[in-house]
Amino acid sequence: MPRRQQTQKASTAKATRTQTGGKTAQAKKEAPAKVAPVKATPAKATPAKEAPAKVEAQTGGVVKKDRYFKVIYGGGEAHGRFSGSKPKQAANKALTSILKELKNEKKNTKGKIDFQIRECTRGSKCKEYSYVGERRKLDQPLEVQLKKVLDDSGKPKTIKYAYENVVRKAPKATV
């Protein structure tokens, strides 16, 4: 082999060594790609997705936002968190909570109960509202059927209400 051809081979080998990190690259023969036979499978029937339940949007007027309140009872700290669009709605829920607490402590739940609720909605002025509440027994229990909730026998479930909450704003104390 002539000297000139040897130097060209050596220089190309050097170039491939530096390009591949010091190792000489050897060309590999690629095997012909094998093609797998395609099986004809029937398309699976996918069930149609149900559209998400639409939430009825309010049309017109001011957007109703829930407000949040904490109950203050018996000179204690504020506890609980009751929501409602109006303070009276939250006060009704707070009265129910107070009565449950009294019942658990086996105390008297009859008579009038004085309590306050303090607004704790973000951005509010944390105003306090005073209420007087009591639980009255109904002359005839009120029965309500729930159409979507079924009992064990498959009939609509009925709820009996024997009491009602009466909540009124407390008279302001004059000083």
Query: Domain residues of the chain, as ranges?
Result: 67-135
% of the chain with per-residue pLDDT over 90: 46
* 151 phi, psi to nearest 5 deg: -85, -170
How high is the mean pLDDT of the chain? 81
Q: So what's the pLDDT on residue 92?
A: 96
Summarised one tens digit per residue, pLDDT across range 30-86 is 666 676 666 676 666 666 666 666 666 667 777 778 999 999 988 788 889 999 999
Q: What is residue 16's three-state secondary structure?
A: helix
- Please state the rounded mean pLDDT for residues 110-129: 93
4-13, 53-62, 85-94, 140-149: lowest mean pLDDT where? Answer: 4-13
Task: Answer whether 0.85 is exceeded by the pTM.
Answer: no
Distances (CA, A) of 58 to 48, 61, 63, 64, 84: 29, 8, 7, 8, 17
Who contacts 129 (Cβ-Cβ below 8 Å, separation ≥6)? Answer: 69, 87, 91, 116, 117, 118, 119, 169
- Confirm if 119 and 68 have CB atoms less than 8 A apart: yes
Q: Is the pLDDT of residue 2 over 70?
A: no
| pLDDT value for 132 | 95
11 has a pLDDT exceeding 70: no
Strand segments, DSSP code E, in 85-155 are 113-119, 128-150
Name the residue with tokens 């009276």. Answer: 88
Determine phi and psi for 16, rounding to 5 degrees: -70, -30
Q: pLDDT band for 104, please (50, 70, 90 cuts).
A: very high
Please report the sign of the dihedral spanned by the C-alpha atoms of residue 12, residue 18, residue 22, residue 26: negative
Q: d(Cα 153, Cα 157) in Å, to the nearest integer? A: 9
Place of tokens 């060309």: 27
